[in-house]
Amino acid sequence: MPPPGLTLMPEHGVDVPVWHGPDSQDSGNVTAEGLLALGVSSGLVERLRAWQEGWEHDPFTRSSPPQLRPGTPMTVRMARHLQAELPGYRIFLAVGSEPRPLDDWVGDRP
């Protein structure tokens, strides 16, 4: 049985951009408190929260800045940090129509 998955995907109205699945018995958004309970450091939770806030609001264009979209080097690095702090999980990035496993990314480039 594969390890449970967590997917990094910003979405309007959430606190942190982390979701259960694929291959998880749970579904929906993972809260900051949920991540802390899993063992994620408070520093990484705050970085995830900052990514979510930056993605959600750009006062000039009203859309997410390109560097904050999933699959960019910064977001791949953040996913790698999450993977390092949660070795019992498989981390995915929501890019396109299907979440892609972090293992599919070479270096920090999509």
Domain of residue 47 covers 5-104
Give the predicted TM-score (pTM) of the model: 0.82
pLDDT in tens, 39-98: 999 999 999 999 888 877 765 655 666 666 667 788 888 999 999 999 999 999 987 778
Torsion sign (Cα): 31, 36, 38, 39: positive
Count of structural domains, the chain: 1
Q: Which residues contact 30 (CB under 8 A, 6 or more apart)?
A: 6, 16, 18, 19, 20, 38
pLDDT at 62: 59
What is the reported pLDDT for 41? 98
Structure tokens that stand for 84 in this block: 């390092």
**Residue 80 included in any domain:** yes
Is 110 inside any structural domain? no
